[in-house]
Chains A and B, each alone.
Chain A
């Protein structure tokens, strides 16, 4: 019962945040609302007992990506979203049709946590029964992630590493001299 109440509250706040993001034009406020959106999503993950996903969502979605967007905004001069000139009817109808198709698709999805769902009867029973004798790791998620699907996780780490290299190659570049910069920062602080 309390779960439903929390879920409804969080989802209502999510919807309000989303509408506020659409209606606002000040980009700094929108970035902060993105952070709030991620934080509410993290709350939903906690209600679904996915604490580790919630950690990631809170740290990356609400924390790091917000900071990255703020850093990007600080570089740009204009902080107001430009009014679009074109009519929104075509995109709107496209979104409505796609959304309706997705909602129709959820009709066939088994209920949350349904033990008879196809995804739960394939390899999940094996993991539940064998992960403790196989690996001795009580946290089944870690056992699957690091042991059963260790090769998959290696690929993910390489993807993260590649992303870092790509950012370095694109905007890492050479830095300005340290002394000049601290001088300038002092001046701007004094001013």
Chain B
């Protein structure tokens, strides 16, 4: 699709909006519908659209596969690490209340970090799967 003008122009307009929306879904998930899973898949959809229109190689230059593998692991580590941190601070595993001054502040911080971990892992795993599938067709 590298020579098609209209998809290139339209996707250049759309991709920033999709990424912005995914960040909104990620960090506004406490208040509106959404959360890490949704934000992750929407973000990866934006990158997949980019890869479809501009080519797999260009997309892999933006997000190299080894960084994706790191981020996928980082998300799980972040989630599990929040649990360990609450244990070190004297709470039970994933008892966010001990993270902040008050119960509610701790819950806010804990949920934010945990959702971030979910979003990182989901977005990068979706892209890993896409790159693995799409990369098979190359000579």
Q: Which residues of A contact B (CB under 8 A)?
A: 51-52, 55-56, 59-60, 63-64, 67-68, 71-72, 74-75, 134-139, 141-143, 145-147, 150-151, 153-154, 156-158, 160-161, 163-164, 167-168, 171-172, 175-176, 178, 180-182, 184-185, 189
Contacts and interface: CB of A to CB of B under 8 A. Distances in A.
Which of B29, B94, B111, B121 is the most central at the interface, judged by chain A CB atoms within 10 Å of its CB?
Answer: B111
Given A71-B133, A154-B80, A161-B75, A64 B48 contact: yes
B139 A181 contact: yes
B76 A161 contact: yes
Contacts of B137: 71, 74-75
Given A74-B137, A134-B107, A146 B115 contact: yes
A71 B134 contact: yes
Contacts of B38: 52, 55-56, 59
Given A136-B108, A147-B111, A150-B94, A157 B76 contact: yes
B130 to A, nearest CB: 7
B126 interface: yes
B2 A164 contact: no
A75 B114 contact: no
B126 A64 contact: yes
Contacts of A64: 41, 44-45, 48, 126, 130
B9 interface: no
Contacts of B73: 161
B111 A168 contact: no
B41 A59 contact: yes
B98 interface: no
B122 to A, nearest CB: 6
Contacts of B29: 139, 142
B1 to A, nearest CB: 10
Interface string B86-129: 00000001101000000111011011001101100110111011
Nearest to A178: B57
Contacts of B103: 134
Contact of B41 (A56, A147, A172, A189): A56
A171 B3 CA distance: 29
A176 B138 CA distance: 8
Which 5 interchain pairs have the tightest Cβ spacing? A164-B125, A136-B104, A51-B33, A59-B41, A150-B94
A151 B93 contact: yes
Contacts of A71: 130, 133-134, 136-137
Contacts of A180: 139
